[in-house]
Amino acid sequence: MLRGSKLSVFRRYVSKNTVINTDYKLGSADLPHDAVVFSMVQPTGKFHLGNYLGATRVWKELCEMKQPEQKLVFGVADLHAVTVPKPDAKEFRQLRHEAIASILSVGVDPERASLMYQSALPEHATLHWMLSTLAPMGYLNRMTQWKSKSNLKEDREASDKEIGAVKLGLFSYPVLQAADILIYRATHVPVGDDQSQHLELTRTLAENFNKLYKTDYFPLPNTLLAPTKKILSLISPETKKMSKSDPNQDGVIYVNDTPDEITRKIRKARTDSITDRFNYDPQARPGVSNLINIVSGILQVPIQQVEEQVSKFSNYGEFKNYVTEVVVEELRQPRENFQRYMEDPSYLESVVTKGTAEAQEMTQKTINDVMKIMGFR
Ligand code: AMP
Ligand code: TRP
């Protein structure tokens, strides 16, 4: 059933392009005064520089720019996290706490944004079911995540046995993600590049629902991408994005790594021996370009400006010292904040209680409306 998707059949499902690439300053995205912004991270471990530059720092900036009528909801996707089994309940509980502490530690303001755990709002799962009735298996089959998380390779046919072992929850992961977004009737979703595919599906499901019930109830959410939408592994910048699950952890800088760890990892970062002058050329020089991109993202200045700055260095030592300084300085505060928040569980609890109540007003209204539109009420 999951086999043999023919692209042409699915062309009609490809929604119109609503991807907003933001500039170095997020203000350029110019969100409408009544935007509803929604995003989540999985509680699968510590945050790394990719999560930070691709997503959570953008959330912080959205808090800073928030206009009175805008709504911001950020969450911990704990239901998604169990699509890769988490048999140790104690550890899982800890990961959930850490995720909230991490979101706060990068500066997301709980007075301006509602923070919550996905599992505390059952309306997400209810809408997931409704949307699953509209989600074509062929479309889900083309999504890449269930394949990568099942260790199936894109470039070869998987065996029946391998496909037969894939769990339904992992396969329908993107439908739950669509429900997460649509339950808030979100208009803007700030994420990294790897989530673009899931956002496309979300727009398709919103369109399918609207068409079927002859309504315009669900807005088609925009994908909000930062210029640092794809931070690469320091060790394999030509092939891999920075990822928690990377077996080579030297390629991953965590937001709460110590300055010594950051220094060591950047020193080991793969570069090249093309020249000991430094310029941005992602094709020919993926390692150097990734480091330049990281600096540009942190300082929020154009790549060219970083290129000018680093062009004066004449060896890798100087270049890497500079990158290290920028990264260490940027992560100092989040690292300290994280320790502080983890020592204050009752504060974390209070933030989530408030955020959940605010979110619930929105989710209950949507599910009531959807039930009415569909004829359940
Ligand atoms: P996850 O850790 O998979 O829950 O991802 C949380 C957020 O970080 C999502 O918006 C991802 O798109 C984003 N993200 C994850 N890895 C990277 C990366 N290497 N570069 C940029 N953004 C990323
Ligand atoms: N799939 C996202 C990730 O791995 C997490 C996520 C779940 C999400 N639901 C979402 C992101 C809704 C944005 C909107 O990072």
- Distance of CA 120 from the midpoint of ligand 1 (Å): 23
Instruction: Convert the pLDDT of each residue in 184-228 to its tens digit.
Output: 999 999 999 999 999 999 999 999 999 999 999 999 999 999 989
Q: Which atom of ligand 1 is nearest to the CA of 231?
A: 20
Instruction: Give one DSSP letter per residue of 160-210, joined into a string.
Output: HHHHHTS-HHHHTHHHHHHHHHHTTT-SEEE--GGGHHHHHHHHHHHHHHH
| Ligand 2 within 6 A of CB of 118 | no
DSSP 8-state assignment for residue 256: T
| Ligand 2 within 6 A of CB of 42 | yes
- Distance of CA 246 from the midpoint of ligand 1 (Å): 13
38 and 74 Cβ atoms separated by less than 8 Å: yes
For residue 206, CA distances in Å to 10, 22, 179, 335, 376 come to 16, 24, 9, 39, 19
Share of the chain above pLDDT 70, in %: 94
190 and 53 Cβ atoms separated by less than 8 Å: no
Which residue's entry shows tokens 């996707």? 77
Instruction: Convert the pLDDT of each residue in 19-64 to its tens digit.
Output: 888 876 666 567 999 999 999 999 987 899 999 999 999 999 999 9
| Ligand 1 within 6 A of CB of 241 | yes
Closest C-alpha to ligand 2, atom 9: 177
Q: Which atom of ligand 1 is nearest to the CA of 77?
A: 4
**For residue 94, what are its two tokens?**
């800890």
pLDDT at 172: 97
| 188 Rama class: left (phi>0) / alpha (psi -120 to 50) / beta | beta
Average of per-residue pLDDT across 339-354 = 97
Q: Enumerate the active-site residues.
A: 149, 241, 244
| Ligand 1 within 6 A of CB of 189 | no
188 and 224 Cβ atoms separated by less than 8 Å: yes
pTM here is 0.93
User: What distance in Å separates the CA atoms of residue 30 and residue 274, rounded to the nearest whole number?
Assistant: 40
Which ligand is located closest to the Cα atom of residue 43? 1
| Ligand 2 within 6 A of CB of 199 | no
User: What distance in Å separates the CA atoms of residue 249 and residue 251, rounded to the nearest whole number?
Assistant: 5
